[in-house]
């Protein structure tokens, strides 16, 4: 799997991907989101968006804000047909390795209804807080 910077031409794919990967978890969390809110989330920190590719086919999104010693993993999404095959874990391991080289901690939020929390915990993230719908997780920088 390779990555490339997302462009405005990728927005239709990213909107579809967001629906495919988030609608179920949002509904299970009791959160109603309209199309404008989905688009706003796609566009949030768009400059940090990378398309995940298999060959030339877009299959996912990595949105990672690399700022100083505190990086934020904003979104990791894979098309459903490629989920639960270890690809997401592989991407996360790459991100963790990049952060370790930079000496940066990683933070993220995950909906309580999203089973990805167990993957994040397996990779060393710990819950540092929560609200009604999300867990806030962090992985400390390793020397």
Which parts of 1-143 are beta strand (E)? 2-5, 49-54, 57-65, 70-78, 105-111, 126-130, 134-139
Q: Are 101 and 95 in contact (CB under 8 A)?
A: no
- pLDDT for the residue numbered 20: 87
Identify the CA nearest to 139 among candidates 48, 49, 69: 69
| Per-residue confidence in pLDDT tens, the chain, 143 aa | 899 999 999 999 999 998 888 767 767 777 777 888 888 888 999 999 999 999 999 999 999 999 999 999 999 999 989 888 888 899 999 999 999 999 999 999 998 888 889 999 999 999 999 998 889 999 998 76
- pLDDT for the residue numbered 143: 64
Q: What's the CATH architecture for 2-139?
A: 3-Layer(aba) Sandwich (3.40)
Residue 122 token pair: 């397996």
- pLDDT for the residue numbered 76: 93
- pLDDT for the residue numbered 88: 87
- pLDDT for the residue numbered 94: 95
């Amino acid at each position: 799997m390779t990555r490339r910077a997302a462009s405005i031409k990728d927005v239709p794919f990213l909107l579809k991907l967001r629906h495919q990967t988030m609608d179920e978890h949002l509904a299970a969390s009791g959160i109603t989101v309209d199309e404008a809110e989905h688009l706003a989330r796609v566009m949030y920190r768009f400059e940090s968006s990378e398309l995940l590719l298999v060959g030339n086919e877009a299959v996912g999104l990595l949105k990672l804000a690399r700022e100083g010693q505190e990086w934020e993993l904003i979104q990791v999404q894979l098309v459903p047909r490629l989920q639960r095959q270890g690809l997401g874990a592989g991407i996360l391991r790459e991100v963790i390795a990049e952060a370790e080289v930079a000496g940066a901690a990683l933070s993220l939020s995950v909906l309580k209804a999203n089973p990805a929390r167990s993957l994040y915990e397996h990779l060393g993230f710990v819950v540092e807080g929560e609200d009604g719908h999300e867990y806030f997780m962090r992985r400390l920088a390793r020397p």
